[in-house]
Amino acid sequence: MKNLENDNRGCCSGGTGCCSSAEPIQSNKRNVVIDFLYLDLSTCTWCQGTEQSLENALEDVSKVLNASEIEVILNKINVNSEELAIKHKFISSPTIRVNGHDIQMKVKEKKCESCGDLCGDNVDCRVWEFNGEEYTVPPKALIIEGILKCVFGGVSINTENDEYKLPENLKKFYIAMKEKSINESCCGGDNANKCCG
């Protein structure tokens, strides 16, 4: 950040109304894009915990990134349809990507009670591996390590041309959510006699 008080451009040293002609200071900041992709934040404790861990990690790593003139752009993406899953090449929930690179390329999943309750079927969600242990919520240190590796380690992966196939687990989730939505609508399932007669 440039300090204007020490800038010797002339008019900005105390004159009134003359700074409008001063040249704008060019920012050398570069962007790092972090995508947090998830199925649900209202019910899924794994997604909720991942969001909190990500926010804590960003708070801790922000000083390093700011000192390196790196600006973080955080996108929180609710991948609530097959179309969005295909658009984002969604593999497992939750996912954290830095500049398009998954911070943990190995995908391992286990039964998630929260998402099962949400859609009314058995659903597997991502578990995170760090230092030989498995976690349903990624430790803050895992996220910080992933961000720093992607930003400073030169990791650059272009997945745009990779062939994508919607995982069976996600297909199952989206089908169950559609069926649940139909059954809970006014004229579907048990409610048919209440409002459509």
- Read off the tokens for 138: 């990624």
The mean pLDDT of 143-162, rounded to a whole number, is: 75
Residue 7 confidence class, pLDDT cut points 50, 70, 90: very low
**Does residue 85 belong to any structural domain of this protein?**
yes
The mean pLDDT of 168-176, rounded to a whole number, is: 88
Which range (78-87, 109-118, 151-160) has the least confidence?
A: 151-160
Instruction: Supply the pLDDT for residue 115.
Output: 79
Residue 178 confidence class, pLDDT cut points 50, 70, 90: confident
Instruction: Supply the pLDDT for residue 187.
Output: 55
**Does residue 49 belong to any structural domain of this protein?**
yes
Reported as a single tens digit per residue, the pLDDT across 24-62 is 555 577 899 999 999 999 989 999 999 999 999 999 999
pTM, entire model:
0.75
Instruction: Supply the pLDDT for residue 184.
Output: 72
Cα separation, 79 vs 65, whole angstroms: 28
User: How many structural domains comprise the chain?
Assistant: 1
**Does residue 57 belong to any structural domain of this protein?**
yes
Residue 153 confidence class, pLDDT cut points 50, 70, 90: confident
**Does residue 176 belong to any structural domain of this protein?**
no
Reported as a single tens digit per residue, the pLDDT across 93-108 is 999 999 999 999 889 9
Comparison of pLDDT for 192 and 126, the residue scoring more? 126
**Does residue 45 belong to any structural domain of this protein?**
yes
Residue 185 confidence class, pLDDT cut points 50, 70, 90: low
Domain holding 39, by residue range, is 28-155
Comparison of pLDDT for 68 and 157, the residue scoring more? 68
Q: For the chain, give the secondary structure using H, E and C.
A: CCCHHHCCCCHHHCCCCCHHHCCCCCCCCEEEEEEEEECCCCCCHHHHHHHHHHHHHHHHHHHHHHHCCEEEEEEEEECCCHHHHHHCCCCCCCEEEECCEECCCCCEEEECHHHHHHHCCCCEEEEEEECCEEECCCCHHHHHHHHHHHHHCCCCCCCCCCCCCCCHHHHHHHHHHHHHHHHHCCCCHHHHHHHCC
Model confidence at 186: pLDDT above 60? no
**Does residue 178 belong to any structural domain of this protein?**
no
Average pLDDT, the chain: 80
109 CB-near residues (< 8 Å, 6+ apart): 92, 124, 125, 126, 127, 169
CB 91 within 8 A of CB 109: no
**Does residue 17 belong to any structural domain of this protein?**
no
CB 91 within 8 A of CB 107: yes
The CATH number of the domain holding residue 54 is 3.40.30.10
**Does residue 103 belong to any structural domain of this protein?**
yes
Cα separation, 162 vs 37, whole angstroms: 18
The mean pLDDT of 152-170, rounded to a whole number, is: 73
| Residue count (the chain) | 197
